[in-house]
Amino acid sequence: MLLLFVPPADFQPCGPDVMALYSQIWPVDKPHITYLVSGQTFCYTSALNWSRCDKIKDRKRGHLRNTCIGLYDSQTRQNEHLYTFERDLHIISCSVNNERTLLAVSFLQMTKEDKVNQLLQPVSKCLTLLIEIHPVNYVKVLKAVDSCIRVQFLYPVESGNPFPESHLLLISEDRYIEQFHIHVVTEEHKVVIQNTGQLPRERVADDLIWAQWDMTEQRLFYIVPKESRNTLKCVQFYPDENFKLILEAPLDISLSDMGLKLVNFGYDYYQDTEMAPKTVNLQVFTSKTGSLCVCYSQAPDIPEEVTYSISFLHKGYSKTFTVALEKTNSLQVKEVAFLNLEYYVAAYLPGHFLHLLNIHHPDLMCYSLFLTGEDASIKLLHDTSIQSICKLTLLDCCSGRLFTVKINEDSLMRFMWNSKLDRDRLAALHCALVHLGSAADLEDQIIQWILENLSPCHAFDPIQEFIIASLYWRMCPESSQLDKLLPYTSLLYWNGVVPGIACTTDLISLPILKVQNCKGFWEKLNLYLENVKYAEPQLHYNNNVLRREWYKLLSEEKEGRGAPVYLKNIFENARKVLSNLDTWNMEERLVPFFQEEDCQQQLLMGLMVAQLKDHLMRHLQYVGKKKIDQIVVDYVSNLLDLMCRMMEAVWRKYNLYPCIFSFDKRGNAAEFAVFHIMSRILEAANGLCMPLPPGFHSLHLGLGVRCLPLHTLLHYIDNGVLHLTETCVRKLFKDLDNTEKNEKLKFSIVTRLPEAIGQKICKLWNHPVTSNFIARNYVKLLLEKLGTRQRGRPIPDRMSIHIEFLPLNYLASMLAEIEDQGLNPFKEQDHVNAKFVEEMALKHTEMLLDL
């Protein structure tokens, strides 16, 4: 069961299975309770099923039926009695204001039994009352009409002084919505309505055919029919203002031949059981990141399949899914329930499937989870009417229970471990990272999964995807725009399909924001729309420019042509990154990283900081340079931290201990496995041009020397898998003696050393091979000095270092004589053949020594 529903924390007692809880609070002679749950979450009413069973008992005892309205506080988990009607009423809707001083109630004036026995007299079908309940003092009639009325108090998000006004919405079946302004005053410890006459009111919406209330954000979504197509509108209610029409969006959805459909305005048990089967199911979901989705489904025309659509208004396109049902049962519900999971929208058909759609990146199917069978089973819910009340909150209308919806981490990780398909692995990996937060333990579980699944994944590199996606979800909370600028995946496209589900994508018209300079959610939505409107798909940072610049700097540094000031700034960036990792470095760690300087990796670190900073500065000018500097340094630091955490997990997995490798012994199977994993990490880093922790190449090379045969080792070095570092080579020359086998290894390493490192290393090996190397470089130096000497300048001082090597001494003396005589034997030659000079010196020495 992937989705976990947690009732204890936000449990709202609304159904027959909580009668024991009621009996502790409510008098026994008042068994019929219409329960109200209100406050900062939502408004909900329900008549309990078991009230009919107690009706006979009440009549035998001669008691009249009472209807009690109570409030359950989810924070204190206590019931509070609000009001009692001394008769049996069918309550349609009720709501209490923020201060719990006013109660609005809408109910049918007659029950079915009253209608049979009533005298023929005109009476309104529905009565809407406004009641003073602190204390109970006065009742005012707001509406007496034949159409049903829903009521909903507004709850200001922030208000320094909640008095003296409350605002109440009245939603009529006649397809209009009004707002009443109720002024109250305090008199003798009583809160009373100031003007008991005509209350000020205004129209909020007219001619609507669908409406949805968002209690959490105080928004009203509604749809009005137009000539060409229906239009979705949104009214935002503010604590310091009245309300504003803030959004209009044309919808390509057919909603003809339907009555007024209301969502999240309360649940009427009797109406739900008597109404005809629903023909349309539509809900609007928002998220704190600025996403806006319209979820829509209709009763299926073909029993064997179900179709539903998700319009991603913030992306400018919609996706329609058609799912072939494996089994059909006429008794099972065929209406798809939509759940708002903040970063995901879930389409759930009990007994069939659970489809989690990533609303941030819905373009690729591989980021969405489509579950069937036992994985899609939610056993706590009835297979009947299910409603998503608000974010992460679900109502089971059959039992009257409310659940907080969460991703079950254990089930998600188990699903990822057991999955055989790359699309499921990738979707589960992203889903886990979305819901990680600060759960380092879950992140460690993902790393363990990666270490066990390096080879089975063919469609993507799990190391690359884990690092890029982890950085994305770590850094996005820093700024509202980072999610559009930072890379979120290592994949460029995905060609896979999901068996049993067909998907079509259609472009849709973008919403229009009617108010400028919006804040909060609307500001983030506007940024989404601007990106889509101006067609900027390449906003996400990529490594192509970084790779070219890094190779260029490496080439210039090798030739000594690098700009000193520019390189200084690059290495200063790297210093900031490494100082960010001081805490990692100071703690006791298993892997011996950060124990040497790695100029190439520091160059890449600093260059990545510079490139990423330029990228963010182009799109986040308003954020500020100092803030962007910190963001990019944190990004690269987190990247290195993830690399280190992976290596720590590898070390623990294979029981390796912190040590500096010695090369006088061969490696074991555990070390070979670690070498293989490090090769995969290196491959992943090279593929995305990501820096590695200083010391990585030394550690990798050390394992290679211990574990690989010589020809394989040299093959890895020649093909760039292993990098020769001064730290590792120094230790190799120090640890190994001059046996024939070791001499062969050392000679092979020396011939492959970069010149800068070779000049340092060769002095450590007292061997003719290194003497030859030193001679060659000394001759090169002398010839360069001879060729660059200008006529008329004094002869430069000869090198005072005395080398105990006859060919070198002989050649040096010959060159000195040539300089003293002022002769230039290479006068008519464009280039000096240093190799030829060296060979002649060696042959002459052999003749002198009779070799």
Q: 37-41, 186-190, 278-282: which range is least confident on average?
A: 37-41
Alpha carbons 9 and 75: distance in angstroms, whole number: 8
Question: What mean pLDDT is predicted for residues 659-681?
Answer: 85
Give the mean pLDDT of 374-401.
73
The per-residue pLDDT for 43 is 32
- SS3 for 346-376, per residue? EEEECCCEEEEEECCCCCCHHHCEEEEHHHH
Q: What is the pLDDT of residue 14?
A: 35
What are 406's strand-pairing partners? 4
**Closest to 203 (Cα-Cα) out of 164, 239, 172:** 172
Model confidence at 603: pLDDT above 70: yes
* Residue found by looking up tokens 């006068």 in the block: 827
Residues 6+ apart with CB under 8 A from 523: 290, 480
What is the sign, positive or negative, of the torsion defined by CA atoms of 417, 420, 422, 428?
negative
Which region among 83-97, 198-212, 669-683 has the lowest average model confidence (pLDDT)?
83-97
- Count each helix (H run) and each strand (E run) in the chain, helices first: 24, 32
> What is the per-residue pLDDT for 60?
38
Mean pLDDT in the chain? Answer: 77
Please state which of the ranges 291-295, 587-591, 732-736, 785-789 shows the lowest mean pLDDT: 785-789
Q: Is the Cβ–Cβ distance between 5 and 378 less than 8 Å?
A: yes
Bridge partner residues of 338 (DSSP): 347
Percent of the chain with pLDDT over 90: 25
**Residue 44 pLDDT:** 37
Return d(Cα 677, Cα 451) in angstroms, integer: 8
Is 775 buried (19+), middle (13-18) or exposed (0-12) by CB count in 10 A? buried
Alpha carbons 404 and 351: distance in angstroms, whole number: 21
Look at residue 313 in the predicted model and tell me its pLDDT: 95
Residue 465 DSSP label: H
Up-side HSE of residue 495: CA atoms within 13 Å toward CB?
2
Ordered DSSP codes for 535-559 = T-GGGS--SHHHHHHHHHHHHHHHH
Give Cβ neighbours of residue 496 (< 8 Å, ≥ 6 apart). 365, 366, 422, 423, 459
Highest mean pLDDT among 115-124, 284-293, 294-303, 426-435: 284-293
> Rounded distance, CA 737 to CA 340, Å?
68
Q: What is the mean pLDDT of residues 809-823?
A: 62
Q: For 55-80, how does the pLDDT look when each residue is reduced to its tens digit (9 = 90+)?
A: 333 433 444 567 788 776 666 766 77
**Is pLDDT at 41 greater than 50 in this prediction?**
no
Pick from 723, 647, 729: which is nearest to 686 by CA? 723
Is 70 exceeded by the pLDDT of residue 787? no
- Has residue 584 got a pLDDT over 60? no
For residues 128-157, one letter each, b for 16 or more C-beta atoms within 10 angstroms of the residue's C-beta and e for the rest, the string is bbbbbbbeeeeebebbeeeebbbbbbbbbe
Determine the Cα angle at 104 with ends 10 and 112, to 5°: 95
Question: Are 506 and 497 a contacting pair, CB within 8 Å?
Answer: no
pLDDT for 495 beyond 80 = no
Residue 33: its pLDDT value, please?
Answer: 33
pLDDT tens column, 73-123: 666 766 777 888 887 788 888 888 888 888 999 988 765 555 544 444 556
Distance CA 849, CA 525 (A): 87
Q: Which residue has the tokens 């924001």?
A: 513
CB of 702 closer than 8 Å to CB of 661: yes
Instruction: Indicate whether this model's pTM tops 0.75.
Output: yes
DSSP string, 221-255: EEEE--SSS-EEEEEEE-SSS-EEEEEEEE-----
> Sign of dihedral through CA atoms 653, 655, 660, 664?
negative
- Retrieve residue 548's tokens: 């070219």
Place of tokens 């924390």: 9
Could you please report the per-residue DSSP string of 715-766?
HHHHTTSS---HHHHHHHHHH----HHHHHHHHHHHTTS-HHHHHHHGGG--
Task: Give the Cβ contact number of residue 406 at 10 Å.
Answer: 13
Q: Which of 346, 336, 282 is nearest to 306 (CA)?
A: 336
| H helix or E strand, kind and range, residue 528 | helix 521-533
Contacts of 30 (CB under 8 A, 6+ apart): 66, 68, 84
d(CA 333, CA 350): 7
| Cα separation values, 409 from 210, 420, 436, 440, Å | 36, 19, 9, 13
317-324/305-312 β-pairing: antiparallel
Measured between alpha carbons, how far is residue 359 from residues 213, 254, 286, 310, 437 in Å? 21, 23, 10, 9, 18
